[in-house]
Structure 1
């Protein structure tokens, strides 16, 4: 799971970049090795530590600096390929045992400068469960035999992880959940962490490995002789330089660039977009505002748009614990009245992606089984522009004779502070007000939207206005379980079930679907998607296409995994 800030194509000049190619004649110019790329972003990474990062910007840096066991090529987000692993995993014992052989010759960056061993991968996952690291998606690895049910004090061995030799690691699971477990091994948490170097940092709470992190990928955060990441200036700059111990013969990444400067204080999206479109050797880390997207869709800035389907769903959660939204008919009324196209227009119109009718996006197993583009056929999602008359009938069924809310309570909606997110938040506020709800809109910095508000149940947020749930890997379970399972509700913070939906039938169906594979798995999760729509716990807005922009002399390659440029594939022309 990640937040974006993470797909219907508009305009012949926009295309999907899946390799070193582009749009327009200029994009056909050959790429070159070397040079420095500047990446502009309006927000910082959450963490540099691969065991702690979960937001898109952190994942972008991790993709350039770390090597998990498995991963995806930029243009194929559905096929898992070996990364630090030497080959595909071997699954045995009916899906309960997974054996992975490590690639030889992968080395840590200075100051560690030695070959990666299987024990380093074991330590990376064990530290993930420690309270000092407290990995953000521990649930993906909770089926390991001996995995703790809560974060441990200090890093503890996990019985289900064994290392028969320096290049073999074996995972034993309590249940036959190898499908999702292998998918989770594409996440940064499976990137090796050298215990002999990191343990003193991990002994502190919180771990300080974040400011001493070493790399296994082609790039590293610039550091000093002691390993301190002096190239990281919080809220300002991240300097990535070549990892001198990286060998191209061990990696599929071309790693064309010599250095990458990520400026994290480019807060004005419109100004930043102009700087990129008229600049040199520069890209924008996130999609530009809707006004720029509309220019691109009309043919301006030929060859400077990089576009790809994200596989994510964008939605507005409805907090089901706040009265009267604990009533199903009230929630159905909100879905019925909601003008989903209005939020899409605020994001740039049809160029930003198709209107969603449920949650699993095209390309994710279970999408077709949940009804495809048509969806479940629920009447309260039939009109993408909203249906006020139908909404009022649902309010009447909920006990409001006038068809509108008659109470005096004010409800909190929170939105991000970029131009686009402010506009979206205003649209969301207006939809509630159509049915008489009094809304207090609070605009907060994007990097605080989730950490300080949406994921803190005590804040009593009715809706966060601009959430996109990005795929961690191409499977329906991580798309639905963290967002709608009762077990995902977390307090006092770190909650990802923003609706706080805790439906016994959905919880049971999810527990059964986790054990399935292949078509049976897709069918089961598609049915769960339909069940979630039936509970009207969130408004499905759209399935994002993400569009990124670059200077004319950049050949950008988009990652559909984290919704930004893949810096290990991007090059200068």
Structure 2
């Protein structure tokens, strides 16, 4: 997720995302200024919940955005709008790592002077422990890279039983060495994931660590009421001279959760009182788009954000009748993508997705294998033996945006004789629920943001059948093709990045012949900020959401 992000992590259907207008009618090329008062209280108005803040479990873009305020990783995304935000830069590490042994061994050196919130130095052992704990069965939600790449990762069960992972070495307090089971040319990007954040062993609290991760970033948690509010205050031991990404400007950041999205829109449009110091975490809703775009004063406070996220409908190929390719292809032809974009805000929400890889990802191919065709969908169902139609259950977030998308899917598939029942799931539990093989149903409103800009953290993460697991599953199509899995390995072994990108593009075309997912939108984002806010821009790593690490206030009022 994504992821990412990916990543990464990803974020879907919890509210509309939008684009099309830069602040003042311009583009997203520059944030709202770069300076601000080093004081004041920044308010963040969110219509969603934070699924996980524990870095071992944090693999949803919204939570990763907040997590970047609390903890640092070996590397991280640059603090920049547009494509520049996709660049990976050093964070706790002095550089992007040194590969040896044909990129099977990676060595990182920590910066001097980096500290935890209690003033103790951050050491390589803290990084090692943070990675090791992601193997514990208690934390199944994170990305798969450690299990995939670290030697011995396929059998390691985490440090909670007292054992360390031998393939992570710490020869001294500032040096950490990772020994991999295969070459990974972009491992320096992989260590930007939250699970490469340091965790002191004496602060281990199991699943309870989710509520109070120990800070290595500019802010620490003062108060956290899950599903309601999180309040962050300064980590006085964070040293800005060691951090080229985070600005650490506000004295306090207050994030209100699970607010009514329509109420958020109206509060941000009014921009009064403390809302002058606020940013909108989720993009403006479809019902507010016209009001914002026709008001010059509001357009001055509208910020756009680019994204490398593709939203898609996952079809659970392990369930009948979705195990039949003609049935899946029928769904792909029947899905009304324009209707889905409309309920998300119309053209401002992004571009209709016709392929798996978005245009910003190297390897993207301009193609549309399943143009809207209800008659073709009906014919394919009949050929599969379902002339009278089929009945399916759709998993959707229990939010206004999730419900609207679910109803759009229900209506469009219904025209082809595909009867859909909507199963609404709390936004705070959505990803953990659909990631549980025993709880997922036939269809999932889904999506994926690569953990860094490239197909290597997109296609394998969501479509490699060998990564299907009972819990924390990212392959919600349950797609498992021997031919495709083999090709993933062949591409991973390529040393020529351009050739690998081309191969991923070709493989994406091949995968879509099986229609395990139906892409419908390439996201963009637009959100409002308060009149006293500065430094706000949408970040590609967070599906175009505001990069909270850079926001400040013009004055500490």
The TM-score normalised by the length of structure 2 is 0.90
Total equivalences in the alignment: 530
- For residue 350 of structure 1, report the CA deviation from its aligned partner: 0.8
Q: Aligned partners of 1:188, 1:15: CA distance in 2, in Å?
A: 33
1:251 equivalent in structure 2: 243
- The answer (yes or no) to whether the contact 1:333–1:390 under 8 Å persists in 2 is yes
- 2:448 pairs with 1:438: no
- For residue 298 of structure 1, report the CA deviation from its aligned partner: 4.0
Q: Aligned partners of 2:531, 2:88: CA distance in 1, in Å?
A: 32
Cα 1:161–1:495, aligned 2, differ >3 Å: closer, same or farther? same
Q: Aligned partners of 1:486, 1:17: CA distance in 2, in Å?
A: 37
2:227 equivalent in structure 1: 235
- For residue 186 of structure 1, report the CA deviation from its aligned partner: 0.5
SS in 2 for 1:543: strand
SS in 2 for 1:457: coil
- For residue 427 of structure 1, report the CA deviation from its aligned partner: 0.8
Structure of higher RCO (CA pairs closer than 8 Å, 6+ residues apart):
2
Q: Aligned partners of 1:16, 1:258: CA distance in 2, in Å?
A: 30
- For residue 33 of structure 1, report the CA deviation from its aligned partner: 2.3
Give the alignment of 1:6-17 within 5 angstroms.
10-11=20-21, 13-17=24-28
SS in 1 for 2:253: strand
- 2:294 pairs with 1:313: no
- The answer (yes or no) to whether the contact 2:341–2:347 under 8 Å persists in 1 is yes
Stretch of structure 1 that moved more, 431-440 or 130-139: 130-139
1:225 equivalent in structure 2: none
- For residue 365 of structure 1, report the CA deviation from its aligned partner: 2.3
SS in 2 for 1:558: coil
Cα 1:211–1:532, aligned 2, differ >3 Å: closer, same or farther? same
1:406 equivalent in structure 2: 388
Q: Aligned partners of 1:448, 1:16: CA distance in 2, in Å?
A: 35
- 2:81 pairs with 1:101: no
Cα 1:236–1:522, aligned 2, differ >3 Å: closer, same or farther? same
Give the alignment of 1:299-310 within 5 angstroms.
299=295, 301-310=298-307
- 2:366 pairs with 1:387: no
Q: Aligned partners of 2:27, 2:125: CA distance in 1, in Å?
A: 39
Cα 1:232–1:553, aligned 2, differ >3 Å: closer, same or farther? same
- For residue 14 of structure 1, report the CA deviation from its aligned partner: 4.8
Structure 1 gap segments, 5+ residues each? 23-27, 223-230
SS in 2 for 1:447: coil
1:260 equivalent in structure 2: 253
SS in 1 for 2:474: coil
- The answer (yes or no) to whether the contact 2:539–2:546 under 8 Å persists in 1 is yes
- 2:118 pairs with 1:121: no
Stretch of structure 1 that moved more, 45-54 or 303-312: 45-54
- The answer (yes or no) to whether the contact 2:212–2:221 under 8 Å persists in 1 is no
- 2:543 pairs with 1:568: no
- 2:324 pairs with 1:327: yes
- The answer (yes or no) to whether the contact 2:327–2:384 under 8 Å persists in 1 is yes
- For residue 543 of structure 1, report the CA deviation from its aligned partner: 0.6
2:209 equivalent in structure 1: 209
Structure 2 gap segments, 5+ residues each? 2-8
Q: Aligned partners of 1:282, 1:296: CA distance in 2, in Å?
A: 17
Q: Aligned partners of 1:150, 1:290: CA distance in 2, in Å?
A: 47
User: Which one of the candidate residues 191, 194, 199 is aligned to 1:193?
Assistant: 199
- The answer (yes or no) to whether the contact 2:21–2:302 under 8 Å persists in 1 is no
For each residue in 1:53-85, what CA deviation from the matched residue of structure 2 results, as whole angstroms up to 9, or x when unmatched? 122332122111111000111322332110000
Cα 1:391–1:323, aligned 2, differ >3 Å: closer, same or farther? same
- 2:85 pairs with 1:92: no
- 2:269 pairs with 1:277: yes
Q: Aligned partners of 1:489, 1:147: CA distance in 2, in Å?
A: 16
1:227 equivalent in structure 2: none
- The answer (yes or no) to whether the contact 1:48–1:62 under 8 Å persists in 2 is yes
SS in 2 for 1:461: coil
For each residue in 1:326-355, what CA deviation from the matched residue of structure 2 results, as whole angstroms up to 9, or x when unmatched? 211221121112211110011111111111
- For residue 516 of structure 1, report the CA deviation from its aligned partner: 2.3
User: Which one of the candidate residues 159, 170, 177 is aligned to 2:177?
Assistant: 170
For each residue in 1:433-479, what CA deviation from the matched residue of structure 2 results, as whole angstroms up to 9, or x when unmatched? 11212221223322233323x223323511123x2312222221221
- 2:490 pairs with 1:512: yes
The TM-score normalised by the length of structure 1 is 0.87
- For residue 509 of structure 1, report the CA deviation from its aligned partner: 0.9
- The answer (yes or no) to whether the contact 1:16–1:308 under 8 Å persists in 2 is no
- 2:453 pairs with 1:474: yes
- For residue 175 of structure 1, report the CA deviation from its aligned partner: 0.6
Q: Aligned partners of 1:435, 1:5: CA distance in 2, in Å?
A: 25
- For residue 141 of structure 1, report the CA deviation from its aligned partner: 4.7
Q: Aligned partners of 2:354, 2:117: CA distance in 1, in Å?
A: 46
SS in 2 for 1:177: coil
